[in-house]
Amino acid sequence: MAKKPSYSFSKLETDEKCPWAYQKIYIERIPRAETEPLVIGKMLHDLTAQYLDRLIGAKLQTDWLYAEGLTPKEAPADVFDIWPRFFNSFILPPMESPGVELKLAFDRNWKPTDYFGDDAFFRMVVDWTYRQGELAVVQDWKSNRVVPETVEKNLQLRIYGWGYGRRAIPMPKRFSCASTFSDMGPNGKLFFSPMTWPRSRTSWRTGLSRSKPGKTLNRPPGHSAAGAGSWPTVR
């Protein structure tokens, strides 16, 4: 019996922008070319995760010497520019229940399940989460220099906030979701409560019931499907 496919925000976003790319990357599993932006993003995410683990484990607010020691010997120029800016200005806030690279997964009934389980239908990896009393904070690290105009329509943040809320015990009463740019500091925050989940959830779950990713391949490579205004279906 063939294993049912699983999905994530990045998979669905790829299919929305270019079904041909989805077909090649996720169905035919052709290795993706390692472009400089991808290398920069991965290196900065890895450095940030290691640094947060260090601060949380040692109960420190900052550790510049350790951060300097993490700096790679070889990397694209942007890494040497962005990384020092980040760790020289970052201070770990007071927090409870921190999570770094938190892996979350849900089955086809949108119930929490094991990330690597066979019944995992939708997966997400949240860069950084923590709590401050009744407030839950969800952060997504960005290394690109193009700052979006607003975070209110950031579907990825809403999904991560919803996912963390489903797994958090006890249930947070308020959420703060933010895209944080490594070289610029926080760009903006999106505050909401569990009462807004039905609306937020509907905005992305509705798109999961319309057409299967990778099936509309009559469009040429690079053709965007975003104009359709919905995500493809994941049955």
Q: The domain spanning residue 156 has which CATH number?
A: 3.90.320
Flag whether 1 is in a domain: no
DSSP labels, 36-53: HHHHHHHHHHHHHHHHHH
The predicted pLDDT at position 157 comes to: 80
What is the rounded CA–CA span in Å between residue 176 and residue 186? 12
Backbone dihedral angles phi then psi of residue 196, each to the nearest 5 degrees: -90, -5
Flag whether 178 is in a domain: yes
Locate 123 and state its tokens. Answer: 């997966």
Number of domains the chain contains: 1
Backbone dihedral angles phi then psi of residue 149, each to the nearest 5 degrees: -65, -35
The predicted pLDDT at position 191 comes to: 52
The four Cα atoms 219, 225, 227, 231 give a dihedral, to 10 degrees, of 150
Domain range enclosing 72: 7-212
Helix (H), strand (E), coil (C) string for 104-121 = EEECCCCCECCCCCCCCC
The predicted pLDDT at position 99 comes to: 93
- Alpha helices by DSSP H, the chain: 9-17, 19-22, 36-58, 64-70, 77-89, 155-167, 197-205
The predicted pLDDT at position 123 comes to: 93
**37 prior amide bond cis, ω within 30:** no
Flag whether 184 is in a domain: yes
Q: What's the predicted TM-score (pTM) here?
A: 0.76
Q: What is the pLDDT along the chain (235 residues), one digit of tens a residue?
A: 556 778 898 888 888 888 888 888 888 888 888 888 889 989 999 999 999 999 999 999 999 999 999 999 999 999 998 899 889 988 999 999 999 999 999 998 889 999 999 999 999 999 999 998 888 888 888 776 555 555 445 678 888 888 888 887 777 888 787 777 655 444 445 555 554 544 544 445 544 544 455 444 333 333 333 333 333 333 3
Flag whether 11 is in a domain: yes
Helix (H) or strand (E) holding 140: strand 135-142
